[in-house]
């Protein structure tokens, strides 16, 4: 029987042990969603794990749930991730990034909020959904989700493309982070609000048929 400290091959990855760090949102990026030196320190400290799966990272500026959660859709965000990944590699680690679109679990805090883009446009149970934002005293506060609207086919295609662009951005550092698509359901399971079926509450499964998403190589 293999033990926790024996090597493991996953696809192209050769992990020196079987300890895989689960994605954990820490909200330590800037308000512009640029990864910070504190995040680099956090991941470098954990470089001895077989694989780190770094926190949910937004692929688009719309449909965003958490203030200070990182993004990977602007050049400063991409550059900061590249620097962070290089630091983890220099410390002997392996790191994957969880790519994230918040769907309807989102809050637009601007004066003229745009609806979150979701697969279903179901909003009847929005009070079951909590999103988090930076409050006036620098503490995180619970916010109401912005009502969402169902994506049209063009928006679904644009979202698929955005996942592809984010996956390519992950590869910016040579031999860099590996993209891992993140279903919003997983975030719900983190216990933030959604009960046993997660944030979506098992009630949003009406879907217009749409192209399936797969991360680009």
User: Site residues (CB under 6 A) for ligand FMN?
Assistant: 22-25, 55-56, 98, 182, 186-187, 189-190
Q: How far is the CB of 153 from ligand FMN (least distance, A)?
A: 27
Distance (Å, whole) CA 101 – CA 56: 9
Return the closest-CA partner of residue 77 out of 23, 24, 33, 25: 33
Task: Output the CA–CA distances (angstroms, integers) from residue 12 to 7, 94, 109, 126, 178, in the order listed.
Answer: 13, 12, 41, 41, 10
Could you tell me the smallest distance in angstroms from the CB atom of residue 102 to ligand FMN?
11
* Number of Cα atoms under 13 Å in the Cβ half of residue 10: 12
| Least spacing, CB of residue 55 vs ligand FMN, in Å | 4
Closer residue to ligand FMN, CB minimum distance, 150 or 178: 178
Nearest Cα residue to 72 out of 210, 171, 200, 193: 171
CA-nearest of 51, 80, 62 to 158 is 62
As measured in angstroms, the least distance from the Cβ of 128 to ligand FMN is 18
Nearer to ligand FMN, 99 or 151 (CB): 99
Residue 207 CB, shortest distance to ligand FMN, in Å, is: 21
- Of 162 and 182, the one with the shorter C-beta distance to ligand FMN is 182
Reduce the DSSP state of residue 15 to 3 states and report it: strand
Residue 150 or residue 187: which is nearer to ligand FMN going by CB?
A: 187
Query: For ligand FMN, which is the closer residue by CB, 20 or 210?
Result: 20
Q: CB under 8 Å to 214, separation ≥6 — which residues?
A: 181
DSSP-derived letter for residue 192 is S
């Amino acid at each position: 029987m293999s033990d926790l400290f024996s090597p493991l091959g996953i696809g192209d990855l050769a992990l020196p042990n079987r300890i895989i760090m689960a994605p954990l949102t820490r909200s330590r990026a800037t308000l512009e969603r640029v990864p910070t030196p504190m995040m680099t320190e956090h991941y470098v400290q954990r470089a001895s794990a077989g694989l780190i799966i770094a926190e949910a990272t937004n692929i688009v500026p719309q449909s965003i749930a958490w203030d200070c959660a990182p993004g990977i859709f602007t050049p400063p965000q991409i550059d900061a991730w590249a620097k962070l990944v290089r630091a983890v590699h220099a410390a002997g680690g392996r790191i994957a990034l969880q790519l994230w679109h918040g769907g309807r679990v989102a809050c637009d805090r601007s004066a003229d909020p745009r609806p979150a883009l979701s697969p279903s446009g179901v909003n009847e149970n929005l009070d079951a959904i909590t999103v988090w934002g930076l409050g006036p005293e620098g503490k995180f506060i619970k916010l109401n989700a912005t009502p969402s609207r169902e994506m049209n086919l063009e928006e679904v295609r644009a979202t698929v493309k955005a996942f592809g662009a984010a996956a390519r951005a992950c590869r910016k550092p040579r031999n860099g982070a590996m993209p891992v698509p993140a279903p919003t359901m997983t975030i719900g399971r983190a216990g933030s609000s959604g009960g046993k079926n997660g944030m979506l509450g098992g009630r949003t499964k009406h879907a217009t048929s749409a192209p399936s998403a797969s991360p680009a190589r």
